[in-house]
Amino acid sequence: MLAGFVRLPQGFDRRARRVLEQTMARLPAFEGKPIRVVLRSALFAHRGTLLSGLERGTPVHAGSFLRRRQIVLDRTLCAEPSELARILVHEIFHFVWLRMGNHARRSFEAQLAAELQRNARGELGWSADLRKQALSPGDVRARNRRWREYVCESFCDSAAWLHTGAKDHEEFTLARRFQRARWEWLCHFEAVRRIPI
């Protein structure tokens, strides 16, 4: 068990465990039942299902099952501990997003809508960037599924960017001035109370 809220399986070498422990120590205080982490090989997302070993759909590094309180990570991440940590934190924050409340979610939405009005390009992770590129101007006004999925992925990518301590990554394409505003929003959100997962 790591940090009391994440249960890791066997299969992580000492180096990967050390990086994960350092990363978990930087996370805010959480409250909630533990989340179990599972390792699988060759993950693909296909029609709302996470497949392992079947090359169908879109290759992914991880997936979260919120009601089962489970995160599935691709086994290949074990060879890249810093990427493993970044992706694990992203997945943990899907549990935060689910329980953070409408007021906080709307506040983060407003943050992103303001960025788009200022022509902010790029993101803090592939998952959010892919969804951002697929947005049309009407999606923000309608608050439709495309927009809501983008906001959720952006929140999780932003949290992973903040908490893993990585300064540079090929997926960090958001301009520094917008990064600063995200940092401030996240720090304010996390300073208020223990965060439910």
pLDDT at 1 (0 to 100): 41
**Average pLDDT score, the chain:** 91
Asked whether residue 12 carries a pLDDT value surpassing 90, the answer given is no
Least confident segment among 48-52, 121-125, 153-157, 186-190: 48-52
3-state class of 153 per DSSP? helix
Alpha-helix residue ranges (DSSP H) falling in 70-144: 81-99, 102-117, 126-133, 137-142
Measure the CA dihedral 141/142/148/150, to 10°.
Answer: -50
Q: Which residue has the higher pLDDT, 112 or 42?
A: 112
Q: What is the pLDDT of residues 120-159, one digit of tens each?
A: 999 999 999 999 999 998 999 999 999 999 999 999 999 9
Read off the amino acid at residue 177.
Answer: R
At residue 170's C-alpha, the angle toward residues 166 and 172, to 5°, is: 60
Least confident segment among 42-56, 80-94, 103-117: 42-56
Residue spans of the domains in the chain: they are: 6-99, 102-196
The secondary structure of residue 66, as a DSSP letter, is T
Read off the amino acid at residue 22.
Answer: Q
Q: What is the pLDDT of residues 171-184, one digit of tens each?
A: 999 999 999 999 99
Pair 45, 58: CB distance under 8 Å: yes
Q: Edge-to-edge strands of the sheet including 49-52?
A: 49-52, 43-46, 58-59
Measure the CA dihedral 36/39/42/43, to 10°.
Answer: 0
Look at domain 6-99 and name its CATH class: alpha beta
pTM comes to 0.92
Give the residue-averaged pLDDT of 11-36.
Answer: 88
pLDDT at 192 (0 to 100): 67
Give the residue-averaged pLDDT of 9-29.
Answer: 85
Read off the amino acid at residue 101.
Answer: G
Asked whether residue 108 carries a pLDDT value surpassing 80, the answer given is yes
Asked whether residue 3 carries a pLDDT value surpassing 60, the answer given is no
pLDDT at 5 (0 to 100): 79
Give the residue-averaged pLDDT of 101-128.
Answer: 96
Q: What is the pLDDT of residues 59-81, one digit of tens each?
A: 899 999 999 999 999 999 989 99
pLDDT at 135 (0 to 100): 96
